[in-house]
Amino acid sequence: MAINVDTVYKTVLLILNQQQRGYMTPDEFNKVATQVQLNIFEKYEDDLNQQYRMPQNDTEYANRVKNIEDNLQFFQRTGATAYVGPHFTLTPTDIYRLGTVFYNSTELTQYAQRNEVTQLLLSPLTQPTTTFPIYLYENDTLFVYPTTIQTGVTISYLKTPADIVWAYTQGSLGQYIYNAGTSTNFELNVSEQTNVITRILAYAGIIINDPTIIQTATQETQLEEQNSKQ
């Protein structure tokens, strides 16, 4: 279940409005929320890499590797390619990181650099075949060898998080009225809601020039990160 953008924005405003601390416009919120979501998303890969090197427990809800993978599942996609000779273009337009390349539903396990491809093609013993193909990925295109392969190539990937939008209409008094139909919710797991609000508040403290909010929100974020890695 994703995080509702209206819930987050209203919570942020509620906290900021205590003791008349300040206000965050919808446009400011949208830009900050988009950046916060991207920061959290990018951190998943580093956290996952770190957790793979640490012993894990077998409990149902406290396995950290499993929990991070659960968070990433909102961004996992599969996509098609189009052969435009001599390479394949990637059909999806929202690719953040390429995952696995498949040929006829079989994973291509050998990824090669440009210099490696040249060496592999020169030797009769290492030349790729349709049974054991190789691929090169550069400039957002796929070069699959042997070049007789011109169909059947698909990919898995992580999508780029969508921009957050708290959309609104204006009331008769100029007030902002939430419009759910044209808004874009967070794509993060609902378990990240507290983390999202805390990070947005840290940015909000900068916008309204309130060091107290910045310090409190930053300390809360750092504490949560430390606890997640222990």
Which pLDDT tens digit goes with each residue over 1-57? Answer: 789 999 999 999 998 887 566 789 999 999 999 999 999 999 988 877 777 666 666
pTM above 0.85, yes or no: no
- Residue 193 CA to its chain's centroid (Å): 16
pLDDT per position as a tens digit, 45-85: 887 777 766 666 667 766 778 888 888 999 999 999 999 98
**Cβ–Cβ < 8 Å for 208, 21:** yes
Domain assignment present for 182: no
Q: Is 198 helix (H, G, I), strand (E, B) or coil?
A: helix
What one-character DSSP code corresponds to residue 125? T
Structural domain total, the chain:
2
Domain assignment present for 165: no
Domain assignment present for 149: yes
Kindly report which listed range (43-57, 88-102, 149-163) carries the lowest average pLDDT score: 43-57
Q: Are residues 127 and 59 in the same domain?
A: no
Domain assignment present for 128: yes
Domain assignment present for 178: no
CA distance 180 to 168: 8
Nearest to 221 by CA among 82, 40, 91, 57: 40
If pLDDT is split at 50, 70 and 90, which confidence band does 169 have?
Answer: very high
Q: What is the pLDDT of residue 210?
A: 62
Q: Are residues 65 and 100 in the same domain?
A: no
Q: Is 118 helix (H, G, I), strand (E, B) or coil?
A: helix
Which domain does 14 fall in, by range? 5-72+188-229
Hey, what long-range contacts does 63-71 have (CB within 8 A, 24 or more apart)? Answer: 64/228, 67/191, 68/44, 70/189, 71/44, 71/188, 71/189, 71/191, 71/192
